[in-house]
Amino acid sequence: MKAGPTPIHLFPLHNGVPFLEDVLDEEALIIRRAFRRERVFRDRSDPLAFEDDHLIERYRFSADGLRYLCRLLGPKIQHQTARSHALTVPQMVCVALRFFASGSFLYSVGDAENLNKGTVCRTIRRVCLALKSLVHVFITFPGHRRPLYIKEEFYKIAAFPNVIGAVDCTHIKIKRPSGEHEGDFINRKSFHSINVQMICDADCLISNIEAKWPGSVHDYRVFRASPIYERLSQGEFSGVLLGDKGYACESFLLTPLADPQTSPQQAYNHGHAKTRARIEMTFGLVKSRFQCLHYLRVSPERACDLIAACAVLHNIAGLRKERAPRMAIDDEWENAAIFPDNRNGRLVREHYIEHFSS
């Protein structure tokens, strides 16, 4: 039988084996292996074993900030024993912060942290109460700096003198509470809420907070019932607060003019609005940093505790210069001017208007 044609090899042969194009050069492969980046296996039991970008996105604090919180809260939240695989302090802090930062359902937080819903709930409560106990440490009026510094920082905004704070209320939405007082929590936008009063300084740090009133209570009534009102009315502080037109003008609380006519009056209103905007910025920062404050699926009592905890965390983040999230300005709630101005308040306001005429 006649032999067939000799096959044509497209590649040269070596010991009868062709060099194929897709065969990697052995020397190049050795070099590639030698310079391949070593894989880093992080300790999953240590939530701080990540870069700051990863931590800030999930917990709103850098690694240094988280370590500070662990040192601060450790004595209050740590378990006495490691029985039943009890969570470590860093794990507890990160579980709570993930909830505060995301506002997710508890089972979602548990899935992210590899924990069951019950453990997540107990951990958040434990950390929340520990933070609430520090309210008077991190939230102090008129602020953590000297009053003169606070006034100077406010003055830099719009040349409005002698300001020690801006005051306003914001509504934190909650689930419909059970009980006979359910209607008290319905605000004028027809959803259930806690009406939270805050006072801030020019750096958007919270200097006073009242988080206990149902959503139906008017902002000025919250202010009149607060301890800070009594302290201000007794002349304990040198300086004034700025409030919107829903507040009555007082000697220590200046509000805008309802219908400015003259140039000094318009200048007063402009400076007032620009300076008072710091409280709206503060609301926006707090709610952007802690998304849980957009809707709390808990009872009113627990909602108030969570709000106080987030306020403490906000000030800690601000004092430590933690990276702030992209801010969304809080929706303004224009209150009707249903409370008459105090006579002394009008006189003080006239004095300030004269300042803007000079």
In this prediction, residue 32 has a pLDDT band, given cuts at 50, 70 and 90, of low
Q: Which sign does the torsion angle of CA 23, 26, 30, 35 carry? A: negative
Is the per-residue pLDDT at 312 higher than 90?
Answer: yes
pLDDT for res 114: 80
- CA-based nearest residue to 55, from 43, 44, 63: 63
170/194 Cα distance (integer angstroms): 8
Is the per-residue pLDDT at 263 higher than 80?
Answer: yes
> What is the number of alpha carbons within 13 Å of residue 64 lying toward its C-beta?
6
pLDDT for res 197: 98
Distance, first Cα to last Cα, the chain: 120
> Which uninterrupted H or E stretch holds 342?
none
The 3-state secondary structure of 29-76 reads HHHHHHHCCCCCCCCCCCCCCCCHHHHHHHHCCCHHHHHHHHHHHHHH
- Cα 301 to its chain centre, rounded Å, is 20
Which parts of 191-298 fold into alpha helices (H)?
219-224, 227-233, 263-289
In this prediction, residue 331 has a pLDDT band, given cuts at 50, 70 and 90, of low
More confident position, 173 or 25: 173
> Which uninterrupted H or E stretch holds 2?
none
Helix-strand-coil percent breakdown of the chain, rounded to 5?
50, 10, 40
pTM of the model: 0.84
- CA-based nearest residue to 178, from 43, 4, 300: 300
Q: Give per-residue burial for 233-257: e unless 16+ CB within 10 Å, then b.
A: eeeebebbbbbbebbbbbbbbbbbb
Distances from the Cα of 342 to the Cα of 46, 250, 252, 266, 349, angstroms: 57, 5, 10, 21, 11
Condensed to tens digits (0 to 9), the pLDDT of residues 81-106 reads: 666 568 999 999 999 999 999 988 88
pLDDT for res 41: 39
More confident position, 322 or 25: 322
CB 101 within 8 A of CB 273: no
In this prediction, residue 326 has a pLDDT band, given cuts at 50, 70 and 90, of confident
Is the per-residue pLDDT at 38 higher than 90?
Answer: no
Over the chain, what is the mean pLDDT? Answer: 87
In total, the chain counts a number of residues equal to 358
